[in-house]
């Protein structure tokens, strides 16, 4: 056996979430996204994908929703995971309404991207507080669900971007 220490389970899960939201480490292999080049270009994470779009593109409806709507919904889900696990907030949550409005101004688009970033940062910070606690189905299920949800909507957004005739 080498000197390779076993990775903490939380670090493994947060690494997958980081890849989905922030993209791959430049020049390093990735778990599921196409790799980010060594110079940092060709980042396929959620934040970089959103940053490549203007408000008009983010507002265009593709198959019944917009990238802005998808981003808003994704932010809400990450926020709810923290509120559910940390605060015991059981809603109700307006999941359908979270996709609206479909259209955003430039200022709203910048704010929405910041909301996605903040929701992600808060989810990571909360998850780190759970790392040394006894492992529970609630904590692992909530985090695993958040990872799956972010990855699903990242895929949906990237397909929508292709429909906008832009490289995803």
How confident is the chain (168 residues) per 10-residue block, as mean pLDDT?
70 93 87 80 91 97 96 98 93 96 97 98 94 79 93 96 82
- Residue 4 resides in a domain: no
The phi, psi pair for 134, rounded to 5°, reads -55, 140
- Residue 3 resides in a domain: no
Cβ atoms of 13 and 148 within 8 Å: the answer is no
Question: pLDDT per residue over 39-75, tens digit each?
Answer: 877 889 999 999 999 999 999 999 999 999 999 999 9
- Residue 67 resides in a domain: yes
Domain around 146: 9-23+33-163
- Residue 128 resides in a domain: yes
- Residue 168 resides in a domain: no
- The pLDDT value given to residue 26: 83
- Residue 28 resides in a domain: no
Distance between alpha carbon 41 and the CA centroid of its chain, in Å? 19
Cβ atoms of 44 and 58 within 8 Å: the answer is no
CATH number at residue 130: 1.20.120
d(CA 105, CA 56): 8
- Residue 105 resides in a domain: yes
Number of folded domains in the chain? 1
Residues 6 or more apart in contact with residue 57 via CB below 8 angstroms: 67, 161, 164, 166
Tokens of 31: 């778990």
Does the predicted TM-score (pTM) go above 0.85?
yes
The phi, psi pair for 22, rounded to 5°, reads -95, -15
Enumerate the β-bridge partners of residue 45.
none
Side-chain-side CA neighbours of residue 73 (13 Å): 23
- Residue 1 resides in a domain: no
């Amino acid at each position: 056996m080498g000197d390779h220490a076993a990775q903490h389970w939380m670090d493994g899960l947060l690494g997958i979430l980081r890849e989905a939201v922030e993209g791959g480490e430049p020049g390093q292999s990735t778990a599921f996204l196409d790799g980010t080049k060594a110079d940092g270009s060709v980042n396929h994470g959620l934040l970089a994908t959103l940053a490549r779009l203007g408000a008009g593109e983010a507002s265009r409806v593709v198959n019944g929703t917009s990238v802005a709507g998808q981003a808003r919904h994704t932010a809400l889900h990450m926020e709810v995971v923290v509120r559910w696990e940390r605060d015991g907030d059981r809603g109700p949550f307006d999941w359908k309404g979270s996709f609206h409005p479909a259209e955003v101004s430039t200022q709203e688009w910048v704010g929405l991207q910041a909301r996605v970033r903040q929701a992600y940062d808060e989810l990571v910070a909360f998850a780190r507080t759970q790392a040394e606690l006894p492992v529970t189905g609630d904590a692992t299920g909530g985090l695993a669900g958040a990872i799956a949800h972010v990855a699903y909507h990242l895929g949906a957004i990237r397909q929508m971007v292709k429909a906008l005739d832009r490289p995803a």
